[in-house]
Amino acid sequence: MIITIHINSHSLNKILLASFLAIPIILSSSPDAYAVVGSFFLTGHDPDFHASLGANAVGARNIITSAVAFTTDPAFNPFSNAGVDKFLFVESKITAPGGHTNGVNGIVASGFVLGTDFEHHDATTLNAELDQLGTKYSAIVVASDFGGVLTSAELDILNARSTDIIDFLNSGGGLVAFAESNSQAQLTSGSDLFGFLPFLVTSTQFNQAEVGITVTVFGAGLGLQNSDVNGNASHNIFVNDAGLEIVDTDSDNMILTIAGRGQIRDGEIDPDPDDAKVGGELIPIESTALLLAGVQTFSWMIPVVLSILGIGLFVVSRKSE
């Protein structure tokens, strides 16, 4: 049985218009329409020191590997997903003063291979390497200033390049930053601690033995346990979570580590409270971005659009009868 559908051009134009007006509605639920988010792990621990020195090297190494895994996860980091496998480790190359050690040793002790998994750069080469965020590096890992040897020379460069770092994070890059307290040898005197993230004005020096530290549910989701965050020492706390998730707290419930995903906008991190896994915010989509998303996802939309057309044609056919 053959059914012939008669439709005039005026009705067809209406159907086509209605079908294509429906495309933005379909696109709005597409994964490609979601905003890219940066990944953050900021801590008052100095696992780069304790991974090679200290009472709990295993725990310190797990902090490092968990932090790097979270910030370079290819499911959220588009650079890692595209095959950019290295992270940039920022630390001075000076001989470590008393009470300090070269934190790069802790990175290596945690299983990362220098030159393959990461590159180590100090103030002499750091500016040039920051130009390669997203092309050579999927994440930045900043050493502690105690017990590692991050100095003002490196920190001042990071702070001066804050806009570039934030652009990298807002494009999906990752950032790990260990303790900044200007303790012991005071290697970062005169520098703005965590100044490359200007909204983090709430960190403060607080040197303490790691006793009674508790990992939160979110921290456990990163692969951390209480045994990882106790037994060494930590050197700064955060007065608030800065829009991220709390990873662990000390015995007085002060925040030692914050992490999460989101966009830095208007001087703060905007996480998505409805998506605990991603931790990022859905950014309103402009019409231009919507059209680009449409091009990228058009292949899966074709059957839907044709279905809409079919329904319209059927309705017109019934009316013509």
At 72-120, the pLDDT tens digits run 999 999 999 999 999 999 999 999 999 999 999 999 999 999 999 999 9
Max Cα separation, the chain? 93
Q: What angle do CA 227, 229, 230 make, to 5 degrees?
A: 70
Residue by residue, DSSP assigns 94-155 as SPPPTT---THHHHHHTTPPBTTTEEEE-TTTHHHHHTTBTTTEEEEEEPPSSSS---HHHH
Decide: residue 282, CB within 10 A, 0-12 exposed, 13-18 middle, 19+ buried: middle
Phi then psi dihedrals of residue 261, to 5 deg = -130, 145
Residue type, 101: T
Phi then psi dihedrals of residue 59, to 5 deg = -65, -45
Residue with tokens 């009868």: 321
Q: Tens of pLDDT along 279-310? A: 333 333 233 333 333 433 344 444 444 444 45
Decide: residue 135, CB within 10 A, 0-12 exposed, 13-18 middle, 19+ buried: exposed
Q: Tens of pLDDT along 18-74? A: 444 444 433 333 334 346 899 999 999 999 999 999 899 999 999 999 999 999 999
For residue 229, what is the enclosing H or E element?
helix 226-229
